[in-house]
Each structure stands twice: as C-alpha cells, then as structure tokens.
C-alpha cells in the first residue's frame, strides 16, 4: 500500500467516524476520497491511478476525487426562520474531481466507470448507469446522459488544472462503481455518440460507496 493510499484510508475512516458521532445524530453520510499521482499502466496492479497516454496525462499529473453519499433517509435542511420556511430532504451522491499537471486548454471527457483500472484501457469496463441500457455499449442519449451517468468533463486552464462536480439524486449500487476514466476529448451527447469521448487516456481507482 502506498503512503498516499494509507493516509487516504486513515483520513477517510476518520472522516466517516467523525460524521457518525454523536451516536444519536442523523445517519452517517459516507465520504470517500482519493488523491493519486498517475503511474505507468504496467504498474496498474499496485497503482491508485494509471496513464495510458503520457502526452495527455503525464506521470507527474495528479487527481483528487471525492464522493459524498447522502444516505438512507436523506439529510434534513431547514430554510427560513423558526416556525416558517419549508423542510427539504436530500438524498443522493455528490462527486468532485480536480486534476493538475494535464495538457493546458484541453477538454477531457471524464466519467465514472464500473470496474477498476487495469493494465489495458478497457479494463475499467463501461460507464456506471443508474438505469442500465439493455443495449451495450450504450450510445443512446436516453441512458448515456449526465443524469443517468456521472460525467466530470474538464477543460484545463493554462496551467493544466481543472475541476468538475456532479450531483445525482441516486446512489451507486454497492461495488458497481469502481473508477474514474479520463478520455481524450469531450463527451458526446447525440444519438450514437452519447457518452463517447474517444480513447481512454488515464484511469483512477475510486472505491465509490
């Protein structure tokens, strides 16, 4: 286990424990995050993140990804003053991504995929879909869209940095969302091209909850 992974695991555990207390409070809202430097694909077995194209994702680049799962009965939030306003209930998933050290001014298509990263770009499997398209690979915008999948496209700034976030009203099925894949170009949205973003240039393992 790398130092980064060990620290990440320790902090993540601490964070979920902290959120879980006091005992009488609302149900816990699991928080997961990873912070990894990209390794060559040959290192996939022990790497948190791998690159398949060093010209677009060099090994000096890093990615930070966080997930907040707002669970079970939903998080309560009161608006307005005492005795007025309305009560709102939230349930869902928030995913945040930030990258640095990438190609400046480049649009990367980025999504949550179903399998862990591997030595081959295709190891990460298809996109995670809340409602699964019976026809795979899914290029139908009815299923391949940013509400049914998690899209985190980024256009980097002049320094090669960028960030993206996604809020969904649903939660991942346990163990079925395992990575974030960075693709060569922007994600398509039209019939037959929906969800497509070209070659997979890098992958980050994320144990989504």
Give whichever of 70 and 110 is closer to Cu ion, judged by the CB atom.
Answer: 110
Q: Are strands 87-100 and 162-168 parallel, antiparallel or unpaired?
A: antiparallel
Q: Which residues bind Cu ion (CB under 5 A)?
A: 111, 181
Contacts 24+ apart (CB under 8 A), 23-27: 26/73, 26/75, 26/76, 27/71, 27/72, 27/73
Smallest distance from Cu ion to CB 197, Å: 6
- For Cu ion, the nearest residue by Cβ is 111
Please report how close the Cβ of residue 76 comes to Cu ion at its closest, in angstroms.
Answer: 34
The residue (of 36 and 149) whose beta carbon lies closer to Cu ion is 149
Question: How far, CA to CA in Å, does 202 sit from each of 38, 58, 133, 167?
Answer: 8, 9, 25, 23
Give the neighbor-by-neighbor strand order of the sheet with 200-205: 154-155, 107-113, 179-183, 200-205, 49-51, 31-40, 62-78, 87-100, 162-168
Taken as a whole, the chain contains a residue count of 209
CB of 149 to Cu ion, least distance (A): 8
Distance between CA atoms of residues 12 and 103, nearest Å:
30
Site of tokens 């948190």: 48
Cβ proximity to Cu ion: between 111 and 184 the closer is: 111
Task: Give whichever of 30 and 126 is closer to Cu ion, judged by the CB atom.
Answer: 126
Q: What DSSP letter does each residue of 59-81 carry, written as one string?
A: TT-EEEEEEEEEEEEEEEEE-SS
To Cu ion, the closest distance from the beta carbon of 177 in angstroms equals 12
Q: In terms of CB distance, is 31 or 108 closer to Cu ion? A: 108
Name the minimum Å distance from CB 2 to Cu ion: 25
Smallest gap from Cβ 137 to Cu ion, in A, equals 10
Q: What is the DSSP letter of 147?
A: T
Taking the least distance from each CB to Cu ion, the nearer of 111 and 115 is: 111
């Amino acid at each position: 286990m790398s130092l980064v992974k060990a620290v990440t695991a320790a902090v993540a555990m601490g964070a979920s424990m902290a959120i879980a207390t006091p005992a009488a409070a609302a149900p816990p809202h699991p928080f997961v995050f990873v912070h990894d430097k990209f390794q060559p694909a040959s290192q996939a077995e022990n790497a948190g993140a791998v690159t398949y194209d060093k010209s677009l994702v060099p090994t000096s680049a890093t990615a930070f990804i966080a997930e907040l799962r707002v669970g079970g009965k939903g998080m309560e939030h009161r608006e307005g003053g005492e005795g007025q306003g309305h009560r709102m209930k939230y349930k869902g998933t928030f995913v945040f991504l930030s990258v640095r050290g990438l190609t400046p001014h480049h649009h990367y298509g980025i999504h949550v995929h179903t399998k862990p990263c591997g030595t081959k770009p295709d190891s990460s499997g298809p996109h995670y879909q809340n409602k699964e398209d019976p026809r795979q690979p899914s290029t139908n915008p009815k299923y391949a869209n940013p509400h049914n999948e998690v899209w985190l496209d980024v256009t980097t700034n002049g320094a090669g940095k960028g960030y993206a976030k996604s809020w969904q009203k649903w939660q991942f099925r346990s163990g079925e969302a395992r990575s974030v894949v960075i693709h060569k170009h922007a994600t398509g949205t039209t019939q037959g091209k929906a969800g497509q973003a070209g070659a997979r240039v890098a992958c980050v393992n994320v144990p989504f909850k």
